[in-house]
Amino acid sequence: MFTKLKDKIISINKQNFIINFLFVLAVTVVYSLSVNIPLIKMNYPEKYFILALFMSITRDFIIWFIVFLNRWVFAVFTIFTFVAGFGLKYVNEYLNMGLNIGTFEVIFSTNLVEAKGVMNDTLINYFIVGLLIAVIIVSLRFILITDKHKVNWGGDFYFYLQH
């Protein structure tokens, strides 16, 4: 039972795996450096900044790697995450509001007049930059990373049930 699974793991194309790993690591570093640094600086003392950044990159790498497995989920998640991340970065830097439940309560309970007071060129530029970075990353994912490693999981599952 496990020998067939072991053979599949051994037969993974190591070059593709390394390219995928480095791509996800690059996306994680770009996301952490562009979105998470203000949040880390706000929530942690400076002497813990490197440790907090490392923890942030490690946590984000796990999330990005799971999302990376399906190209369409990756595309939607990347666009949403970068646009929302840059929006929250604006809220943190210019409105001096931390990311907590109160932030979301204020965002979802605001009216049109209050929203117009917050909207400015900086917020729109943040959204555009987030969207631009996300589109570049998604384009690279679709162009550079191929999904040639299709596996017949149904047949394997059936094989495991028989033995």
- Spatial neighbors of 60 by CB under 8 A, at least 6 apart, are 28, 31, 32, 36
Spatial distance between the Cα atoms of 58 and 36, rounded to a whole number of angstroms? 12
Residue 5's pLDDT band (boundaries 50, 70, 90)? low
Q: Is the pTM value of this prediction over 0.95? A: no
pLDDT in tens, 67-114: 998 889 999 999 999 998 888 888 777 777 766 677 777 777 777 777
Nearest 5 degrees, angle CA 52-CA 58-CA 62? Answer: 145
pLDDT in tens, 105-146: 777 777 777 777 778 888 899 999 999 999 999 999 998 876
- Using DSSP's 3-state secondary structure scheme, residue 119 falls into coil
44, with CB counted inside 10 A (0-12, 13-18, 19+), is middle
Determine the pLDDT at residue 156.
47
Determine the pLDDT at residue 160.
44
